[in-house]
Amino acid sequence: MNNSRHMSYWSGIRKRLQRNKTAMAGAIILLVFTLGSLLAPVIAPHPVEQMNFDQRLAAPSSTHLLGTDDFGRDIFSRLLHGGRISLLMGLITVVLSTTIGVTLGIIAGYYRRLDLFIMQGMDILMSLPALLLAIAVIAVLGPGLANAMIAVVIAVIPSYVRVVRSAVLSIREKEYIEAVRALGIRDWQILLKHILPNIMSPIIVLSTIQFGVSILAAAALSFLGLGAQPPMPEWGAMVFVGKSFLSQAWWMSIFPGMAIMLVVLGFNLLGDGLRDALDPKTR
């Protein structure tokens, strides 16, 4: 019975999502980009790292849909492959920061004694501007895609902890949790079975939004030369390289930048839609 109630809960959300134009628009954008990057090796018209010195800085044409870069590499193919980097990076970052952030948030919210320490730590992290914190982390670890991800994770964890903690705090005091606790059920079971499912909505919404935020942050780091290393077709790095060719080959920077914007927009749209669908208050 419990199960069926759950089912209808989720299917209700699905229906609401499907009716939500915003969410669908976001989902479609993301679907296109995901497919594009998954199928990159198949659909990319040119090998991604193939240099072609005769075709340098070629304008968009039928052979090179979005033009070529300073090595004569096909921008469209690079964008498709770059999507893999950005999406994967976003995914890993979100999974990591969600896991760590949610764990810390639940602990802080549930075990009041640890709360002070965790929140003090978060306050310290949050008292530094996120991007500067990320740059400092990279200064220590050295540049590179993996380190950029770690930096982004560290920078976004506090926002998870805050959201999760306050959600846990509000649920913790509910009668049914009291009741369950009175039954002598162990803490971790309460956390896993009773508290976690009840705070899923804010976590899902936050993760969707953070997906976009992480991609944006990682792109910014790559733009500063701290993330992806050449010749990786990372979008932020492509904008950075294209920057030097703005007057000769605008397509080198405009298209990768647009790709970043669209993907992030996709996540934001989806996140908005999810928020509407998951939050009964907005109904």
Partner 1 sequence: MKKSWWKTGPLSVLLATAVIAGCSSQTANQTTQPKTDEAGKTSNTLVVSSLIDPDTLDLHKTTWLGNENGLLYEPLLSRDTSGKIIPGLAEKYEISPDGKTWTFTIRKNIRFHTGNPVTAAAVKESFDRMLEISPVKGIVGPIEKVEATDEQTLKVHFSKPFSPFINVVISGMVSPVDTKAAKELGDGFGDKPSGTGPIQFEKRERGASLLFKKNPEYNWGPEYVANKGPLHIDNVLFRFLKDDDTRMMEFKKGTIHVLHDVPANSVAELQSLPGVDIQKTMDIGIKYIAFNNKHPLFSDVRLRKAVALSVDRDPLVQVALNGFGKPIYGPLAPTIFGYSEAIENKAKQMYTRNVAESKQLLADAGWTDTNNDGIVDKDGKPLSVEILVSQQPAFTRAAQILQSQLREAGIDLKITVQEMTTIKDRISKKSYDMALMYYGWYDADILFLIFEKSNAESRMHYTRPELDDLLNKGREASSEEERIRIYEQAQEILLNDSPWVPLWVNEVVTATRGIKGFGLNSYTQYFILNDVTLDK
Partner 2 sequence: MRRYVVKRLISLLGTLLGVSVLIFLMVHLIPGDPATQILGQFATPEAISQMRTALGLDQPLWQQYVGFLGRLLTGDLGTSLFTGESVWEQIVTRFPITLQLAIFSVLIAAIFGILLGTIAAVKQNTLVDRFVVLLSLVGISAPGFWIALFLIWIFAYKLALFPISGYEGVHSLLLPAITLGMAEAGMIARMTRASMLEVIKQDYMRTAEAKGASLVSLIFSHGLPNAIIPVVTMIGLQFGSLMAGAVVVETVFSLQGIGSLAIEAISKRDMPTVQGMVFFMALIFALTNLIVDLIYSRIDPRIHFD
| Residues engaged in binding partner 1 (CB under 8 A) | 49, 51, 53, 56, 70-71, 142-144, 224-226, 229-231, 240-241, 243-248
For residue 225, the partner it binds in partner 1, partner 2, none, with Cβ less than 5 to 8 A by kind, is partner 1
- Which of partner 2, partner 1, none is residue 39 near (CB under 5 to 8 Å by kind)? none
Applying CB under 8 A, does 121 fall inside the site for partner 2?
Answer: yes
- Site map (CB under 8 A) of partner 2, residues 129-158, x = contact: xxxx--xxx-xx-x----------------
Backbone angles phi, psi at 16, to 5 degrees: -60, -40
Q: Which of residues 21-80 bind partner 2 (CB under 8 A)?
A: 22
Alpha helices in the chain (DSSP H): 2-19, 21-38, 40-43, 75-110, 112-126, 130-141, 145-172, 175-182, 187-189, 200-223, 235-243, 251-278
Q: Which stretch binds partner 2 (CB under 8 A): 6-14, 41-49, 189-197, 218-226?
A: 218-226
Query: How far, rounded to the nearest angstrom, does the alpha carbon of residue 237 sit from its chain's CA centroid?
Result: 18
Q: Distance between CA 80 and CA 47 in Å, rounded?
A: 11
Give Cα 247 distance to the centre of its chain. Answer: 32
Residue 207 or 268 having the CB closest to partner 2: 268
120 binds partner 2 (CB under 8 A): yes
Non-local (6+) Cβ contacts of 262 within 8 A are: 29, 33
Nearest to 58 by CA among 67, 47, 70: 67
Enumerate binding residues for partner 2 (CB under 8 A). Answer: 22, 120-121, 123-125, 127-132, 135-137, 139-140, 142, 212, 216, 219-220, 223-224, 236, 239-240, 243, 246-247, 250, 253-254, 257, 260-262, 264-265, 268-269, 272
